[in-house]
């Protein structure tokens, strides 16, 4: 059972810890789960920020998309254990995912399927001559078999994932846009669409970060989620 209020993960896509803390304070009690991505994690006090979030009663998702030699990935993932981190991400082949899964400890490991910033043309450029949905399902199946707890996948593919692989893994969907967007996210859905398709969590960044009132923007999404799951 996932607490309804935890289903919204706010992405702290900002360049400094000070700005991240300011955004968290601005959002207040309208969000309880935050994602720390690569840009923010590369600041000198990223672990201090994670501790601060945990001290405030927030859950933390570290989105670093580990991709390297399997042994290196395993050791890197192991550095996150025991810190109160809920989720972390891995990206790569079966050996990489297995090494990460063996070292994950108390962290739930999510495997990246296909980035939401990629479309059909991008996959052609990368040499993937297959349907996007089929590729997502294939990568998800291998991730679960390797010991991952779930996947990162667009809400567009969540329905196909549930149909093919069932309910016994997590689906976390980025690329959430409450309204039309013109940024670098290409495969996007609304919050309600993502959950109706089978997502467990959604990750929302710019629509909250760039809002005139981040707290109100986050609460509007929370209200949508609450109405959907209480219906």
Which residue carries 């009663």 as its tokens? 57
Which residue is listed with tokens 């300011």? 22
Tell me how far apart the alpha carbons of residues 81 and 105 are, in angstroms, rounded to a whole number: 6
Would the CA dihedral through 98, 100, 105, 111 be positive or negative?
negative
Please say if 65 is a catalytic residue: yes
Could you count the other beta carbons within 10 Å of the beta carbon of residue 103? 19
> Does the structure show a pLDDT above 70 at 98?
yes
- The ranges assigned to domains in the chain are 4-230
How far apart are alpha carbons 154 and 77 in whole angstroms?
A: 24
Where is mean pLDDT largest: 15-24, 116-125, 149-158, 171-180?
15-24
pTM: predicted TM-score of the whole model, two decimal places: 0.90
Is CATH 3.20.20.70 what the domain over 4-230 is classified as, yes or no? yes
pLDDT tens, position by position, 57-71? 999 999 999 999 999
Among the listed residues 35, 59, 65, 215, the single catalytic one is 65
């Amino acid at each position: 059972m996932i607490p309804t209020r935890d289903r919204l993960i706010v992405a702290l896509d900002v360049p400094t810890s000070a700005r991240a803390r300011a955004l968290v304070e601005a959002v207040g009690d309208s969000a309880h789960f935050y994602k720390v991505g690569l840009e923010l994690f590369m600041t000198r006090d990223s672990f201090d920020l994670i501790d601060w979030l945990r001290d405030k009663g927030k859950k933390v998702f570290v989105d670093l998309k580990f991709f390297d030699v399997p042994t290196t990935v395993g050791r890197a993932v192991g550095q996150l254990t025991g810190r109160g981190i809920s989720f972390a991400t891995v990206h790569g082949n079966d050996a990489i995912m297995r090494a990460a899964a063996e070292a994950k400890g108390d962290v739930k490991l999510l495997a990246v399927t296909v980035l939401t910033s990629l479309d059909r043309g991008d996959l052609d450029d990368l040499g993937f001559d297959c349907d996007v949905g089929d590729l997502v399902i294939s990568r998800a199946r291998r991730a679960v078999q390797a010991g991952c707890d779930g996947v990162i996948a667009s809400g567009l593919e969540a329905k196909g994932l549930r149909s093919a692989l069932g309910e016994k893994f997590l689906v976390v969907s980025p690329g959430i846009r409450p309204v039309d967007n013109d940024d670098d996210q290409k495969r996007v859905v609304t919050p309600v669409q993502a959950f109706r398709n089978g997502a467990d969590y959604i990750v929302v960044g710019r629509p909250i970060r760039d809002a005139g009132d981040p707290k109100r923007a986050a609460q509007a999404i929370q209200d949508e989620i609450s109405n959907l799951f209480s219906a």
